[in-house]
Chain A
Amino acid sequence: MDIIGSFDVKFLQIINEAGVCDAALLPSMEAPDLKKIFETMILVRTFNQRALSLQREGRIGTYASVLGQEASQIGSALALEKDDWIFPSFRESAVLISRGYPMWMLYRYWMGDERGMKAPDDMNIFPMSVPVGTQLPHAVGAAFAMKYRNDRRVAAVYFGDGGSSRGDFHEALNLAGVFKSPVIFLLQNNQWAISVPRARQTAAATLAQRAFGYGIPGIQVDGNDILAVYRATKEAADRARGGEGPTLIECYTYRLDDHTTADDASRYRRKEEVEEWREKEPLLRFRLFLEKKGLRTKEYEEEVAKKALEAVDKEIEKAEKFPPPDPADIIRYTNFELTARQKTELKEFGWEK
């Protein structure tokens, strides 16, 4: 028999766990860029920690932590241009914060207020998608439209290892390949989908290799190495803008916390596994890397942490002081114009102003 096709699955890492980097692969970044990355990581961590404690105090509802996935989210989000479109799942707080999304609005959202998902007009950020994997085709469609209009933009869609088992994933990759759409599939492989381990999502050895079945490039990156994620995303975006179509990037990372605050991961995964991954978490190695470059001192980090805490506290205050939503909003945003029935209901329920 002849071999009529074969595929190599590439893995990209730039900074290893010891903070040592492969200089040849480093993206061109000046000190302020690197510091911005670090500061965003600290800000996200602060946001996340506070969200978890607010949930425990009953001040917000169920929340999905991003702890451990900061590199995959921030590295990719910062590699995109301002006009690009982003299609997040519910775990993408770090993506949104990296793009300047108001944190108080995110808190509002997790308080159960839809207004928290009304992205500011200058941000092309879709509302977080709760049904897993369903957002992928939307990104393909937006990318189709970008190409149709000759806009040099890309659509980036975030989803998990669990999401990659849905039909939506397969259909979206296939469509994107056929359309050659400028879309980047940012698969956040955090090894778990609630209690289901990655090995039970698919018999395939990597998630990246699934791209090949659809005729598009796929790569696995060390998802705890923020510069590797940045570089891979930048390259995919450049290719997309250059008319070369979609890319699947599997960010190989780990969900260090419970699935959400409603979950108890000790029921299904070993403590030792979590501890092993804790040593590989993204902030540790980026901190070491900056230290080696002389960009991180204890004082600097303390200052960054202090500022982050102040900023987050202010945002929480703003979120909690925000007036409650108007019940008429339930109906008001359903259609472009109220239907006759909706008009009657606004009256009947006493919600009409």
Chain B
Amino acid sequence: MGKITIVQAINMALSEEMQRDTNVVIIGEDVGKDGGVFRVTEGLQEKFGPERVVDTPLSELGIIGSAIGMAAYGIKPVVEIQFMGFIYAGLEQIFSHASRLRSRSRGRFSAPIVVRTPYGIGIKPPELHSESAEALFCHMPGVKVVVPSTPYNAKGLLKSAIRDSDPVIFLEPSRLYRSIKAEVPEDDYTVPLGKAEVYQEGKEITVVAWGTMLHRAAEAAEGFDCEIIDLMTLKPLDEEAILKSVRKTGRLVVVHEASKSGGLGAEISALVAEEAVEYLKAPILRVAGPEAVIPMARLEDYYMPGKERIRKAYEKVMLY
């Protein structure tokens, strides 16, 4: 098999999981006949039928809420929300129920749903099609948050998410959907949740990033000795992987496209400040979006951290 995109890798994961387990169903808007607006579910309704790949009314709250009931009953809903900007009506269901059903029933019930949604900046779409609100979900106990960055880990992580016992928010960087291609094994492998990966080894700067920004951070690293960590699971954080690297390099730069204020970079920085401050040679830096709404196409490139901004941070920590 040749090289495939993230869209195809996710499609492959869904198809294999549906084949493996008849409990797995896909629900969402336009996921069936149309194969999803990004074509991620293309061909699945033909293969598995309309009972398992279900086109829904336009009803995010209803979709996510009913997925909780399905999951509690024992089937495995994989929800597609068309864009992250449209998940917000479903937040009450995620935050008030999916995340706490296990706790509320002291283990009798749980809601191991998977909610997949394209997210992030970079395809110059209309408003609210570029949301990068991962930190919201990370703040909520009880849910896991996953962001793939390559076709290989997209397939492996989604399979793990589907097999997981907790609700998983699976955020797919829309900018990467078709922009990178790689060989992906056709066999049944998984990439574990909760584990970060060293994307590139280095000795002088630890760079933590995920999704689109992982690739930006790596491009910007030319001429620097960066150790780049692909977080992949944003919640629960692989604290050990981050600390291990910082203990080696003594410097930390976190790169994310979401607004810096209250962003996930703050959590990662605080972790390092609490656990490894004695190893730090330089201040921790965050390269992130400004405290503002993510703009539409014309201003998009200004908002998203670019190579230059990232390089500046690398230069700055190297002054120490």
Contacts and interface: CB of A to CB of B under 8 A. Distances in A.
A and B interact physically: yes
B292 interface: yes
A310 B30 CA distance: 39
A324 B298 contact: yes
Given A61-B297, A131-B88, A329-B299, A267 B128 contact: no
Interface residues of A, number: 42
A349 B86 contact: no
B194 to A, nearest CB: 31
B89 A90 contact: no
A168 interface: yes
Among A130, A193, A201, A342, chain B packs the most CB atoms within 10 A around the CB of A130
Interface in B273-308: 290-293, 295-300, 302-303
B58 A330 contact: no
A107 to B, nearest CB: 13
Contacts of A345: 260, 290-291
B305 to A, nearest CB: 10
Interface string A77-99: 00000000000001000000000
A166 to B, nearest CB: 6
A341 B302 contact: no
Interface string B110-124: 000000000000001
A130 B128 contact: yes
Given A112-B296, A196-B30, A342-B291, A131 B86 contact: yes
Given A112-B124, A196-B29, A330-B303, A262 B37 contact: yes
Contacts, number: 117
Given A111-B297, A325-B299, A330-B299, A193 B59 contact: no
A196 B291 contact: no
A90 B126 CA distance: 10
A194 B30 contact: yes
Interface string B60-104: 111000000000000000000000011011000000000000000
Contacts of A329: 295, 299
A331 B290 contact: yes
B57 A201 contact: yes
Interface of B: 29-30, 32-35, 37, 55-62, 85-86, 88-89, 124-129, 260-261, 290-293, 295-300, 302-303, 309
Interface of A: 61-62, 90, 111-114, 130-134, 162-163, 165-168, 193-196, 200-202, 262-263, 267-268, 324-325, 327, 329-331, 334, 339, 341-342, 345, 349, 351
